[in-house]
Amino acid sequence: MNLTKEVQKLDQAKEDQGLIEITDQAILRAKEALNSVLIHNLSIDQIKPTLLLIYSLVGLRPQFYPSGEEKEQLHQYVQKKYAQKTLPELVLAFDLAINGELDLKPDDVKVYDQFTIAYLAGIMSAYKKWLRIQAQNFKPKPMIQIEDKRSLTDEEKAEWIGEWQQMEEINIELIPLLFYDFLVEKEIIKPTPAEKKLAMEKAMDFIKKTLHEEMSVCKTNDAFIAFNQFQNQEKNGFTGDFKNRILNRAKRFIVFDYLNTPIR
C-alpha cells in the first residue's frame, strides 16, 4: 500500500454519506449541563454561588456552611479537581443524588451538618459513574437515509461533536465519520501528512490484529481466508473493503484524539 497516495485520499474517502445517526435521549439528559462553561475558565467568586445553591439543595443548615480555611480548601479543590466539569454538572450531580438516581446508599447522600471534600468527592464519583453508564448504554438507532430526513446544519454538527467531547468514555467504533469531514472542512483540525500517515499505519495494524484474533475463535475458514487476503493486499496494495476499512479507521483515530483533547 502506497501510504503517500493513500493519505491524500483520506479526506476524499466518504463512508455513510447521506446517512445520519439519531442520538439516544439518555445521553441528552445532561446536555445543558455539559455544554456550559468549564470550571477551568471560572474564578472562585463565580463558583461560590453554585456551592451555596448545592448547600441548600442537600439541606445543609446555614450555620454549618464551610467557613474559614475549610471553605478556602473546598473552593480550591473544586477549581482544581473539577476543572473540566461545569457548575451545572455539579448541581446535576447533587440533584441526581438526592433523588436516588446515583449508585449511592442513603447514608452516603445525607450531609450530616458537614459539607466536606470527602462528601463532595463521593457524590461526584457516583455522578461520573452515572455519566459513564449513560455513554456505554448509548446505542445509535439504525441508520436512516438522509433523503428521508433533513441534513444537519453546521451548528447541529458542532453541537453533536460537543456532546461527544463531554463523554467520560468514547467508543471509537461509534464515532460518526461525518465528524472528520466537518472538522477538516471547518479547519478545526488540520492533520498533517505525517499525522495522516501515522493514523493509516495504526489503522492497518489494528485491522490486521483484529483479523488475526478472529482466526482463533472462528470455526470456519472465513477468518483465515480474510487474513490471507489482507496479507496479500498489504504487499500489493489495498482495494475494496479493506481499503475502506483502513481509511475509515484512520479517520476515527484522528477524530478520537481530537475528542479526547482537553477543551481549553
Same domain, 161 and 95: no
Q: Which three cell numbers stand for residue 23?
A: 442520538
List of the chain residues with pLDDT < 50: 14-26, 139-150, 264
Last residue of a domain, one of 137, 172, 198: 137
Number of compact structural domains in the chain: 2
pLDDT attached to residue 144? 36
Element containing residue 7 per DSSP (H, E): helix 3-8
Per-residue pLDDT, 226:
85
Do 146 and 253 lie in a common domain? yes
The pLDDT score that the predictor gives to residue 9 is 54
In whole angstroms, give the CA distance from residue 158 to residue 204: 29
Summarised one tens digit per residue, pLDDT across range 177-220 is 899 999 999 999 999 999 999 999 999 998 888 888 777 766 56
Q: pTM of the full predicted structure?
A: 0.47
Torsion of CA 27, 128, 30, 84, to 10 degrees: -120
264 domain-assigned: no
What digits encode the pLDDT tens for the residues 113-122?
A: 999 999 999 9
